[in-house]
Structure 1
Amino acid sequence: MFDDFFMRAIVGGIGIALVSGPLGCFIVWRRMAYFGETMAHAALLGIALSLLLETLPIWGVFTVSITIAMALYGLEKLDRLSSDTLLGILSHASLAIGLLALGFMTWIRVDILSLLFGDILSVNKTDLITIWGGGFIVLALLFSHWRSLLATTISPDIAAAEGLPTKRANLVFILLIALVIAVAMKLIGVLLITSLLIIPAATARQFARSPESMAAMAAGVACLAIVLGLNGSLIWDSSPGPSIVLGAFLLFLTSLLLAPYVRKLRKP
């Protein structure tokens, strides 16, 4: 019989997986993996800000993530450096500043490892409410803007010509990433958040035949990775966060092996 803390970890992890899977599909489609990583690294600076101002971590992470995204948007307009260069600068700078800020806060005891790699086994009932409540908001916004997000992903020019709100869709997309990172950080950590967004989506892409099916399959793969990772952590006494990522990676490798056979079966 599983202990209460383990069941809370499962429930919390699934709550994040149901959101990270569909949202991760847009990150994969838009080739924005490095953007997601930059936002995740900025989360550590958000934690430092929330501790300094004595506010809830989710608000500090959300605020800093949005600030970093807006800074990137402004720097790209200068047209002097490529997007990947700017992302690299912002990613490592925000991570370094966050670590230094936490180090200087000697009056606060901070577990750096749990921030970097997560501590999903410490999830409590309040965290579950935050995770599922935030997840519901993310999914509601995602599906209400699904058409404009998808059209903007395929071709921003065509989407604009059809009168779709492309700028609002891009802003909503950034807000959703920031919110998911803020909610998920405690579970799998700053360094591993992006993996739960990207790997399940990449796995689902091997089999999906439509954007909607890929989003649903990505959510299922992410849920399975959570269950596999936590059970593996329980059996081998390993760190839960990296175990979840390893579970997702093994599912991805399995998809690479099975995808050719599935395609053959689908051929008329």
Structure 2
Amino acid sequence: MLDFMLGDFMVRATLAGVGVAVAAAPLGSFVVWRRMAYFGDATAHAAILGVALSLAFSMSIFVGAVVVALAMALLVSSLTGRGYAMDTLLGVLAHSALAFGLVAVSFLSGIRIDLMSYLFGDILAVSREDLAVIWGGAALVVALIVWRWSALLTATLNEDLAHASGVDPRREQLILTLALAITVAVAIKVVGVLLIAAMLIIPAAAARPLARTPESMALIAAAIGVLAAIVGLRGSYLLDTPSGPTIVCAAAIAFAATSLFRRRGA
């Protein structure tokens, strides 16, 4: 019965979208709280270089994307505070990584690659193996967040408070960076590198006006992300539009709705 269900491409696509939303939305709450939007963007853009290296060395695209995304995140962390404004540094690294990735792909002779599927996602082509990777990565990200929730939250709120509580902010930053790299790697197939940051930020931003506590914001963000994935996929099927961008559009509509709710409640 399960094999029959997973044979339907729309079922696989929906499960993939839900898996990415479950990982990205709660993690996106920390991205929003820490004002790390550009950080997520830089990590996502670096993933295309990971794809090129994976294809060149005949290795798993997931592994290559995780390694390069993690390397980018660590590079950004190490260069922070060395004379460059954060937005300038992230802008340079994000666009440089994307450009080098695209150039590297052009050198892959004899390898057929649909570049658009990696840039904007190709959720309708998700296979059972892709689903296993997506849900395995999502489970790992959720487990990391749940395990380190209190420490991550303390380090996010105040570094001095974190030190006083015996929490190392740099260690928590590293854990958050690892979770971000894994999320980017599993989301490539679904929304592509250019839209991953949107799925990290928009559901969390949409959840903010509705949440009373950090925990409720993470849960509401996950619910909005899942709803956006389902509604976006259905909308793309009915309107014959690209699935990844349509999912992001659904999340953006949710953000507009909650922003309106906040204004009326103010």
TM-score between the two structures when normalised by the length of structure 2: 0.95
Distance in 2 (alpha carbons) for counterparts of 1:32 and 1:46:
21
Q: Give the secondary structure class of the aligned counterpart of 1:106.
A: coil
Note the C-alpha offset of 1:106. 2.3
CA distance change for structure 1 residues 255 and 93 in 2, over 3 Å: closer, same or farther? same
Distance in 2 (alpha carbons) for counterparts of 1:74 and 1:252:
33
With 83-92 and 205-214 compared, the bigger mean Cα shift is at 83-92
Partner residue in 2 for 1:7: 11
Indicate whether 1:231 and 2:234 are aligned. Answer: yes
Indicate whether 1:19 and 2:23 are aligned. Answer: yes
Note the C-alpha offset of 1:259. 2.4
Partner residue in 1 for 2:139: 136
Indicate whether 1:92 and 2:95 are aligned. Answer: yes
Note the 1:1-268 alignment, pairs <5 A. Answer: 4-77=8-81, 79-261=82-264, 263=265
Note the C-alpha offset of 1:76. 2.2
Q: Give the secondary structure class of the aligned counterpart of 2:166.
A: coil
Contact 2:74 2:177 in 1 (8 A): no
Note the C-alpha offset of 1:165. 2.8
Provide structure 2 residue ranges, at least 5 long, that are not aligned to the other structure. none
Distance in 2 (alpha carbons) for counterparts of 1:243 and 1:225:
9
Q: Give the secondary structure class of the aligned counterpart of 1:206.
A: helix
Distance in 2 (alpha carbons) for counterparts of 1:130 and 1:65:
16
Distance in 1 (alpha carbons) for counterparts of 2:180 and 2:25:
12
Note the C-alpha offset of 1:40. 0.3
Note the C-alpha offset of 1:69. 1.6
Distance in 2 (alpha carbons) for counterparts of 1:222 and 1:25:
12
Distance in 2 (alpha carbons) for counterparts of 1:217 and 1:76:
31
CA RMSD of aligned residues (A): 1.3
- Once the two structures are superposed, residues 72-110 of structure 1 have per-residue CA deviations (whole angstroms, 9 ceiling, x without a partner) of 222225x22122111111101000000001012122111
- Once the two structures are superposed, residues 200-236 of structure 1 have per-residue CA deviations (whole angstroms, 9 ceiling, x without a partner) of 0000001100000000000000001001110110001
Distance in 1 (alpha carbons) for counterparts of 2:144 and 2:10:
30
Distance in 1 (alpha carbons) for counterparts of 2:45 and 2:259:
29
Distance in 1 (alpha carbons) for counterparts of 2:69 and 2:189:
15
Contact 2:235 2:246 in 1 (8 A): yes
Aligned residue pairs, count: 261
**Identical aligned pairs, as a percentage?**
46
Q: Give the secondary structure class of the aligned counterpart of 1:204.
A: helix
TM-score between the two structures when normalised by the length of structure 1: 0.94
Distance in 2 (alpha carbons) for counterparts of 1:19 and 1:73:
22
Note the C-alpha offset of 1:164. 1.3
AA at the equivalent of 1:138: V
Provide structure 1 residue ranges, at least 5 long, that are not aligned to the other structure. none
